Amino acid sequence: MILGLTGAIGCGKSTACAYFVKKKWRLFDADKSCHDLYADPASPLCREIRKEWGDGCFSPDGSVDRKALAQQLFASKEEMAKLTAMLYPALFGKMEEEIAQARQDHAHLLCEVPLLFECGTEKYFDKTAVVWCSRELRHERLCRFRNFTPEEIAGREARQWSAEKKLEAADVAFINNGGAEFLYRQIDDFIKEFHI
């Protein structure tokens, strides 16, 4: 099975992914792949970013300074659209390669894509899943464990579908209001239900 996984920021996607990996699933992490693309100064993506936004978006080692880039782009939907038009072909090309390899190997693959529905990538997957938890719990986790400010959380959430909209769109929901063991039991049930 090729399963696409999403969820709002702070809902526990990483915890779910780690458990799927423990269950011998392969993992494609879209965020990590983005970071890898930004880290390669020789990549076509880095060259396009430098040409469009200049040297101020780069670290001394030639990799993209994501914080500097974000400061330039996030205030403008038009500029963000330019970046996604550069980034998505490279990112989803890598994902397509992982999916093709998993199908060839008859392996189960979990693709963690934070903007899965927003990007229209659901077509790649046999099923889509969402990790969901209450807004209060997500915000508490983000402030306590990741040192986010309320303003940073609001900024991130403004660029994504709401947790509830993702929940409605997904084929499968993993509810993460009850701790890790509760989440793991739901994943085990999902795996058993589909005889995976």
CA distances from 34 to 1, 6, 63, 93, 122 (A): 23, 16, 12, 12, 18
Q: For residue 177, what are the domain limits?
A: 1-25+108-196
What is the overall mean pLDDT for the chain?
91
CATH assignment of the domain containing 45: 3.40.50.300
Domain boundary among 107, 141, 169: 107
Q: Rounded to two decimals, what is the model's pTM?
A: 0.87
How buried is residue 121: exposed, middle or buried, by Cβ count under 10 Å (0-12/13-18/19+)? buried
Q: Which amino acid is at 127?
A: K
Nearest to 113 by CA among 68, 191, 166: 166
Instruction: Say whether both 115 and 103 belong to one domain.
Output: no
Query: What domain count does the chain have?
Result: 2
Using one digit for the tens of pLDDT, what is the confidence trace for 72-93? 776 677 888 899 899 999 999 9
Instruction: Say whether both 20 and 44 belong to one domain.
Output: no
Place 179 in a pLDDT band, splitting at 50, 70 and 90.
confident
- Pair of tokens at residue 76: 């403008």
Using one digit for the tens of pLDDT, what is the confidence trace for 131-167? 999 989 888 888 888 888 888 888 777 778 999 999 9
- Sign of the dihedral through C-alpha 157, 47, 76, 119: negative
